[in-house]
Each structure stands twice: as C-alpha cells, then as structure tokens.
Amino acid sequence: MRVRVKAPILESRMTLNAGAGLVRLFALVPCAGVGARSGAAGPKQYVPIAGRALVAHTLDALARVRRVAQTLVVLAPDDTGFATAVPCFEGWVARCGGAFRAATVQAGLAELSRRGAGPDDWVLVHDAARCLLKPEWVDRLIDACLDDAVGGLLALPLADTLKFARGERVSSTVDRRDKWAAQTPQMFRIGPLHEALRAAGDAVTDESSAIEALGLSPRLVLGSAHNLKVTLPEDFALAQALLEARRP
C-alpha cells in the first residue's frame, strides 16, 4: 500500500497562526537503530507486519495528520533497507543517524533547519517502532500543546505495580501514584529541543528528558495502551494482531 505523501510545505493548510507569528509542524522519525532486543535478523523497523514493513505503518499514520507539514525520516548512513521497505515514500529522508537516539534526533533537527524549518516551528518526534499510531492521538497532542509554552508528550498513567530489583529478587515496591509511562510523539519547538539535546548528551532516552533537564515541565497528554513500542520478540505478534483487527 502506498504511503500517503504531503503536498509542498508552502501550502496554507500547513501554516498555523500562533500569536504574532506563523509556525509549522514537522514530524521527525528516528529510524537508525538496529533493535537489538527484538530478536529480528535485521533492523526491526523493516520486519513485515500485517503485510507491510513495520515503519510503513508508522509513516502512513503520520501522513494522515493534516497539520503536519512534512515528515523527515532519519536513517543510519549505511542503511540499505528503507527504500525497499517503503518504496513509495516521498517525504524527506536524511542519512545522518547516530549511534544513539539523542544523536539521531539532533542530526534530524539540524536537517530540518537546513531544509527551511525555523527554531519556533514545532517538531513531533515519533518512534519508528510505534507502528500502531493513530492520527487522532497525534491531533490530541497537537491540540493540547500548540499554545503551550513548553510542549508535551503522549503518555499513559501507570496501572501496574512497580518493583525495584536486586538481581532477580524484589528490593522494594515503588509507589505508582503520579507516575506515567512516556510514549511518542513528543512535541517541542525545534530550537529549544535542539539546544536541550545538545546540553543533555547521549544518555537521554526521550526528548522530554532533555527538556526537563532545563528545568521545564512538559505537558502530559493522554495516550493509548495500543500505542506500544515494538521492542521484544513477542511484541511483533501483538502488533500484528492489533493491526489486523483494525482492518474492515
């Protein structure tokens, strides 16, 4: 199935009034990882699920978010799988991914700037492996964050009891009140996010962590339990079942 492609970014529907200026929304998909925990023979983002590569489902969902001007996929410099996995993708592709997620996102933000995005434009960073994304979840995030001074992320309040571990034994139980599981997309201004990631280094595992390190508090926007990140071998079967259940 063909991944829907955005029209040129100069179209008026892609420009939003935000106070005195005009801002645009871009999506950035870091797609340079190898998915070492997935058990797949190659990068997990190219594993077929429900008839298409995992990342093709992800990009199709983002393409159906009308307020996103353009999607940039950031690949590893030696990537050989994307063109085969998503042959009809006509969005932006950059082969500048790093060894860590933070480095890949930083490189993607720099690429967006080179392609004309401004520091006050918004970027929605989304995991390639969250292939169950629905456009309405992204729209909910945009609605909540577009006028926010900081930005925010999709997340889910924790339902499970959490345990600290010492080896294979429980050390203690963690109070789950006020604790949320972070998801993506995560939506921030391009300029501040780039600076936050540069200051935070490669240790951060999501964009919100970098923004938090600046002393800011991103907005939590309710996500979905179905917005899972395919990480472990058993996740592929679950994602396949959920995607097939959506078919008419």
- Compute, in degrees rounded to 10, the torsion defined by CA atoms 225, 227, 229, 235: 60
Residue 132 lies in a domain: yes
Please, which pLDDT band fits residue 93 given cuts at 50, 70 and 90? Answer: very high
The number of distinct structural domains making up the chain is 1
Q: Is the pLDDT of residue 14 over 90?
A: no
Measure CA of the first residue to CA of the last residue in the chain; give whole Å.
15
CATH assignment of the domain containing 187? 3.90.550.10
Gap between the Cα atoms of 140 and 163, Å rounded: 32
Task: Give the pLDDT score at 13.
Answer: 37
Q: Is the pLDDT of residue 217 over 50?
A: yes
- Under 8 Å between Cβ of 88 and 155: no
Task: Give the pLDDT score at 2.
Answer: 44
Residue 179 lies in a domain: yes
Q: What is the pLDDT of residues 161-199, one digit of tens each?
A: 999 999 999 999 999 999 999 999 999 999 999 999 999
- Lowest-pLDDT choice from 2-16, 143-157, 171-185, 234-248: 2-16
Among candidate residues 76, 85, 97, the one with its CA nearest the CA of residue 58: 85
Residue 168 lies in a domain: yes
Sheet strands (E) in the chain: 15-18, 21-31, 48-49, 52-53, 68-75, 92-94, 122-125, 152-157, 162-166, 169-174, 180-189, 219-222
Q: Which two tokens stand for residue 162?
A: 């959490």
Complete DSSP assignment for 78-123: T--SHHHHSTT--SEEE----SSHHHHHHHHHHHHHHTT--TTSEE
Domain span at 202: 12-246
Task: Give the pLDDT score at 49.
Answer: 95
pTM of the model: 0.89
Residue 236 lies in a domain: yes
Residue 81 lies in a domain: yes
The helix-helix angle for 135-145 and 54-63 (nearest 10°) equals 50
Residue 4 lies in a domain: no
Residue 162 lies in a domain: yes
Task: Give the pLDDT score at 247.
Answer: 85
